[in-house]
A and B are shown apart, each in its own frame.
Chain A
Amino acid sequence: MTERFCDLALTINGEPVRERVDARKTLVDFLRDDLGLTGSHVGCEHGVCGACTVRLDGAIVRGCLTLAVQCDGASVETIEGVADSGAIADLQQAFQARNALQCGFCTPGMLLTAQALLARGGVPSREQIREHLSGNYCRCTGYHAIVDAIEAVAQARAGRTT
C-alpha cells in the first residue's frame, strides 16, 4: 500500500497497457522509456517548457509534473495517437507550410496545446493564441509563424479563409 513499485493499468492512445512502475517515474519518462513513445519530449523537467505536453483524460497536462502511477485507470493520449487519428492533420500541414517549426523539439507540445485552444471553437485573437501558448517554449522560431499557423487553422476550421 505504501509501495515503491505499483501496478498500473491504463489506456494509451486507445490501447490497454499494464505495467509495473517505479512510483517516482514521471508520465513522460514512462511513455518514452517503457513504451518507446518518444514523441513527447523531455525539456526542462520542472513544468516550464511544455515539450512534454500530453493528454490525460482528454485534458492537456505536463508529462513531467504527473507521475505515471497517478494515471492508473486513466486514458492518456500522446502526439503519436493524436497525429495518427488525423484530428490535427490540418494543423500539422499549417505548421509545415509556414515554417512554424525548425528543430521540431517543441512541436509535439505546441500541436497538442494549440489543438486544446482550437477545440473550444471560434477564431481566437492573436493575443489569445499567445496567452494560451505562454507555457510552451520555442527557441527557434520566435513564435510568429506558430501564431500564424494556428490562426490560419482556426479561420479555416471556422469556414473562412485568410
Chain B
Amino acid sequence: MGEAPLKPAPFGFAKARSVEHAIALLSQHADARLLAGGQSLIATLNMRLSAPKLLIDINALDDLKRVTRTGDMLTIGALVRHAEAEHSDMIARGAPLIARALPHIAHPAIRNRGTVGGSIAYADPAAELPACLLALGGEVEVANAAGRRRVKADDFFKDLFETALGPGDVLTAIHVPAARAESRYGFAELARRHGDYALVGLAAAARADGTVVKDVRLAFFGVGPTPVRARAAEAAVERGEDAVAALAQDLAPPDDVQASAAARRHLAGVLLRRVALQLQGGRS
C-alpha cells in the first residue's frame, strides 16, 4: 500500500493536560486552534479551509465534562458531548429547551463526538445550541491567562462565526438558568432533511404569569449572521398581539441557495405561531 496523499495541511499536535496548559499552549504558538469534538473543525481541515500550525487537543480535560447544578443555575461543561447531553437527566430537568433541541443536531455518529462548547464557540448561525443559549439568557464561561470571565449570550455572538472569544481564550462551560415551575419553552425548526442545518429555527423561553406569558425571549436561527433575538415579536407575544406581523421589524433574512429571503420570512412566521402556542400551552 503506497502512501496516499492526506487532505489536511500539516500541523503539530499537542494534548492539553489542563485548562491552564491549553491557555499556555495558545499563548506560545501563533496560529493554534483548540480541538474539541472536531465535527466542524476537522471538516474544514480536510477541505483546507483552515490550516492551523498547531492543534491543541482538549479532549482529556475531565473538568470540562461535567453537568452541575448550583442553586438556580445549570452548568454544562464545554466537553459534554451532544449525545451525553441528549441523555442527561440533569439537562432534561434543568434545561428542557436544550434537551428538546439536541435530537435536531446532525446525526447520531456526529452527536457522539460533537461537544456543547464546540457548537457555541463555532457559532454557526443556523445551529441550534447558540440560539438555545440566547433564548435562555445564558452565559459563556471563558478562561484565559488573565483569569476567568463570564459573557452574556446577548453579548457573545458578534457576527458570522465571530464571537466574544479572543485568541488566548478557552471556552470552559455554559451556564443557563435552571427551569422552574413557571418556566415555559418552545422549539421548532425546519430543515430539508432531519439533522441538516435549519432553513429557519426558533428557540424560545418565557415565564408563565397567570394566563399570560412574561419575559419572552425568542431566538431565531438560520435567518442572519448570528442567532437573532426578535424583540418586537417578544413584546407582541407578551401583549397577546399579532406577533407574526411584528416579526417584520425583527428579521432581515438572507437569500441563499437553500431558500429565498421571502420564504424564510414566511417560515419564520409559521414557526413563531407554533412556538407561541407551545409557550402559552404550558408544554415545557
Contact = CB atoms under 8 A, between A and B. Distances in A.
A126 B30 CA distance: 50
A12 interface: no
B1 interface: yes
Given A24-B11, A134-B194, A50 B107 contact: yes
Nearest to A112: B109
B195 interface: yes
A36 interface: yes
A65 B113 contact: yes
Contacts of B42: 26, 47, 64-67
A39 to B, nearest CB: 15
A3 B47 CA distance: 22
A23 to B, nearest CB: 4
Nearest to B42: A65
Interface string A1-43: 1111010000000000000001111100100011010000000
A33 B11 contact: no
Interface in B18-68: 25, 29, 35, 38-39, 42-43, 45-47, 54-55, 57, 59
Contact of A33 (B3, B45, B54, B195): B3
Contact of B107 (A6, A66, A70, A135): A135
Nearest to A27: B42
Contact of B43 (A6, A47, A67, A132): A47
Given A24-B45, A62-B39, A65-B38, A2 B112 contact: no
Interface residues of B, number: 38
Interface string B105-128: 011111011000000000000000
B269 interface: no
Nearest to B83: A59
A4 B110 contact: no
B112 A60 contact: yes
B38 A113 contact: no
B106 A135 contact: yes
A62 to B, nearest CB: 5
A148 interface: no
B108 A135 contact: yes
A113 B108 contact: yes
B64 to A, nearest CB: 16
B1 A36 contact: yes
B107 A2 contact: no
26 contacts: A1-B14, A2-B25, A2-B54, A4-B10, A4-B12, A6-B13, A22-B6, A23-B12, A26-B6, A26-B8, A26-B46, A29-B4, A36-B1, A45-B46, A46-B43, A61-B112, A62-B113, A65-B39, A65-B110, A67-B35, A70-B59, A113-B109, A116-B108, A131-B103, A132-B108, A134-B193
Interface of B: 1, 3-4, 6-14, 25, 29, 35, 38-39, 42-43, 45-47, 54-55, 57, 59, 83, 103, 106-110, 112-113, 193-195
